[in-house]
C-alpha cells in the first residue's frame, strides 16, 4: 500500500488545526469528514491529486427528487451555478445526492491552509444554501411544478442560512 502524499497530509493538518474531525482513506489521497450545517448534514470528500498539485473538495447531501420535479431541480442547480464564482452544483442521479464541488491548483506540494479552509467553508456554505431551494422544488406538487419561477425562487433570502462567522455559525 502506498503512503499518503504530502498534499493530503497537509490537508489533514489543516483539519486538525481547525478542530475538524476527518479520516484519511487507506491507500488513497482522500480524506472524509462530516459537518452539521444550518439546513443539512454535509459529507465532505477531499481528494488530493499530487501529480497536478490540485485539491478537490466535494460536499454531498442526500436528497430524493421524484421524476416530475427532476427537470426543475436540474434547472435550479444550473441557475445556481450561474451565480457562483467558485465551484459548481451537481445532482448525482445514481446516488440521489446534491453535490457541490470546488477544485484548486496549488503552486507548492504543501497546500496553503487558508485556501484549504476557504474551500471547506465554501463547499459547506454553498451546499447548505441550495438545500432549502431544492426542498421547495421537491415539495412542489407535480401539477404545479411548471408554474414554479426558479429565478425568483433563488432570489428569496428568507430560506437561506445566516452568513458564516455570525452569531449562529454551526460549523
Spell out the per-residue pLDDT of the chain, length 171, in tens.
Answer: 778 999 999 999 999 999 999 999 999 999 999 999 998 999 999 999 999 999 999 999 999 999 999 999 999 999 999 999 999 999 999 999 999 999 999 988 778 999 999 999 999 999 999 999 999 999 999 999 999 999 999 999 888 766 656 554 444
CATH for the stretch 6-153: 3.30.1460.10
pLDDT at 1: 73
Picking from 81, 7, 150, the residue whose alpha carbon sits closest to that of residue 90 is: 81
pLDDT at 65: 97
Can you give the pTM of this predicted structure? Answer: 0.89
Amino acid at each position: 500500500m502506498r503512503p499518503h502524499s504530502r498534499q493530503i497530509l497537509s490537508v489533514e493538518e489543516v483539519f486538525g488545526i481547525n478542530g475538524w474531525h476527518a479520516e484519511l482513506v487507506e491507500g488513497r489521497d482522500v480524506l472524509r469528514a462530516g459537518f452539521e450545517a444550518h439546513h443539512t448534514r454535509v459529507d465532505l470528500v477531499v481528494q488530493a491529486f499530487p501529480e497536478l498539485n490540485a485539491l478537490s473538495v466535494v460536499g454531498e447531501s442526500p436528497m430524493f427528487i421524484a421524476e416530475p420535479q427532476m427537470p426543475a431541480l436540474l434547472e435550479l442547480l444550473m441557475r445556481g451555478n450561474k451565480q457562483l464564482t467558485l465551484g459548481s452544483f451537481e445532482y448525482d442521479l445514481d446516488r440521489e445526492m446534491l453535490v457541490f464541488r470546488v477544485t484548486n491548483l496549488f503552486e507548492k506540494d504543501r497546500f496553503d491552509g487558508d485556501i484549504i479552509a476557504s474551500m471547506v467553508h465554501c463547499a459547506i456554505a454553498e451546499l447548505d444554501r441550495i438545500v432549502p431551494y431544492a426542498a421547495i422544488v421537491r415539495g412542489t406538487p407535480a401539477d404545479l411544478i411548471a408554474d414554479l419561477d426558479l429565478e425568483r425562487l433563488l432570489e428569496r433570502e428568507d430560506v437561506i442560512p445566516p452568513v458564516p462567522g455570525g452569531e449562529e455559525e454551526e460549523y
